[in-house]
Homo-oligomer: A and B are copies of this chain.
Amino acid sequence: MMTKYFIGIDGGGTRCRARLEDAHGKLLGQGEGGAANIMRNPAQATTSIVDACTRAVAASTLPVQLKEITVGAGLAGANIPSACHAFSNWQHPFDSLSVLSDLHAACLGAHDGQDGAVIVCGTGSSATRCVNGEFIDIGGHGFLVGDIASGAWLGLKAVQHTLLALDGLIPRDPLCEAVCATFDVQDDSALIQKVSAFEAKDYAVLAPAMVTLNTDGDAVARSLFDEGSAYLRRIAHHLLDNSNLPLCLIGGLSDTYKPWYDESVRARIQPCKSSPEQGAIAFAKQSIKQGAQQL
């Protein structure tokens, strides 16, 4: 049976987006839901996915039912085999559901399903390359053990730096002042209390101020971006060396880090051709064509 409707999901640690298309790729409606990380909270992920899809359908004002729709879902945590396996038991309401990681969906979207590499650096960081449909991932391990160079990583470093300054172990400086101003705190105990329940996204709130400080020539901010960029450069060479793959940079910190890449890497950078949601739809279509098992 030829499915008339497709939804692509881009599901991350804070929200998920759904894009409803017809068989020709025409956008019919879009919707958003909550977090969709199937390792951290699979129950919440199912709710968020259904919410986002329901809203995308409602936005289309078409008489489409979820059970008619072929869904491709790029989901955070889908790179963890056991999380993916556990999630496959979900009795979803769609015609079919093909799951891949949010990173792979982004890569497929960015390169329109062709071979290529992506480095994502926003709240988190991760990277992958796709050659002949085979992915090799780097990073994407999540805060706090991974996500080096990301907004969350930068923000945590800034808080740690600020605590040294508030303790009198190093001088107070513009980064310390920016952290105290952002969180409206004056001393270390107020700062500790403020961050006591922080998640990655809460630390990442500091990133824009740090980008500004770096642009203004602040040495401490600069040293943190230097440290982050060393990781991203290492990733870029690991992804691209001995290939002629194009590279897409994705995420809110991509432009900031771009000057730090070597010229040979910068020459490969291209704009994204389409979105992660579109990448997820392409994956679902490919899965059906290949007769792969859908959920």
In the docked arrangement, what's the CA distance between A169 and B127, Å? 12
B193 touches A39 (CB 8 A): yes
In whole angstroms, how far apart are the Cα atoms of A122 and B192 in the complex? 20
Mask: chain A, 45-83; 1 = CB below 8 Å from B; 0 = not: 000000000000000000000000000000000011111
Cα A235 to Cα B148 with chains together (Å): 27
B-side contacts of A80, CB under 8 Å: 189, 192-193
Query: Does A120 make an interface contact (CB < 8 A)?
Result: no
- The complex is assembled from copies of this chain, and their number is 2
Residues of A within 8 A of B (CB): 39-40, 79-83, 138-139, 141-142, 144-146, 148, 156, 159-160, 163, 167-169, 188-189, 192-193, 195-196, 231, 234-235, 238
Given pairs A81-B189, A145-B163, 14 additional interface contacts (CB within 8 A): A138-B168, A138-B169, A139-B163, A141-B163, A144-B144, A145-B156, A145-B192, A145-B195, A146-B160, A146-B163, A146-B192, A167-B238, A169-B235, A169-B238
